[in-house]
Structure 1
Amino acid sequence: MTDVLSDLLQHSLRIVLCGTAAGTTSAAERAYYAHRQNKFWKVLHETGLIPEPLQPHQYRHLLQHGIGLTDLVKASAGMDRATLPTLTAADRTRLSNAIATFRPQFLAFTSKTAGQRFFGGKRDYGEQRELIGNTRVWILPSTSGAANGSWRPEIWHRFADQVRAGEPLTSSQRRPCERRGP
């Protein structure tokens, strides 16, 4: 099967942002976070993660800012709240291998659903204790207009502050990534 959206990954990234799967509008437009009600591009600029506002079709420009993009499920599209695309062990392994290969400082799931599905259980927003190699992992609130009820921009701002600070975890906070489930 072909990926709905190609990964936007390269070496020397600060951040890789990971959704569950491309939304239907993003799949149709062949651009990440393309729905007009999605707050993704606005929050990246508001938090200072990018210096100028970008439009979805300009997603490749994120590489200039040390930011990459991917999704847990690459071969199908859909909304988190609708029928969720099937997440397989191969999807988890693909993401883990990509992070191990490109070694960004941070992997941030762009919805609680994505983070919980990756880890195989309930999780809270914020930095997770697990690492993938030396990559710190965060779960951020969804920027989708469908998730307005759980929108918490302060968590995105806290994440951006951590990215800028580059503060390492203490050794007692670190543990290797362990996931349950398929």
Structure 2
Amino acid sequence: MELLSTFAADLVAISILCFALYYPRHRRRELLVAFLGVNAGVLAVTTALVASDTTLGLGLGLFGVLSIIRLRSLELGQHEVAYYFAALALGLLGGLGSLTVTLTAILMAVIVAVLAIADSPRTFPRDEQQMVLLDGAYADRASLAAALAEVVPGEVRRTVVQRVDLVNDTTLVDVRWTRTDEPRRGDHGSAERTGAEVLA
């Protein structure tokens, strides 16, 4: 009965994580399969390892290797890496069975709550990050700052130049900036401004 209760807690937690938090905010359907698959797989195998004579450390080490391979084979944002490991952690908590049902449920709730707050659009709503392709090769910071001032509708906080192409006369730069106006739903910057292309 206690094992079924932890399974039910895991089912509720991963459902909230995937269908109430991640998908409504990011709309990547293929990652739902990854999160649910990782959670179910970790839950099943961890439960089997606990019930057998196999060393638990060996099983967790195998999970770590598989996770690294998966993360290296798919381009993920940092927030998606957080969801990925949250799904894995929920499966571990549900499958280990070494804690009480109440403590397991509390730990699962903490994981879900942390992601709900950290990934909320209301957390630092004015801060933005975008990859911008400028129409011009800017080798010095002064000219780069002047070009970005015409493109970015806010105060530039940090820039990281990814590539300066002198042949094609372009500059790819990672821009972190703060909005000076009220952010609007679905507004992700000035992609239609002249002289630059917003890539992300």
TM-score normalised to the size of structure 1?
0.35
Structure richer in helix, relative to its length: 2
Looking at CA atoms only, which structure, 1 or 2, has the larger radius of gyration? Answer: 2
Q: Which has the higher contact order (CA 8 A, sep 6+)?
A: 1
TM-score normalised to the size of structure 2?
0.32
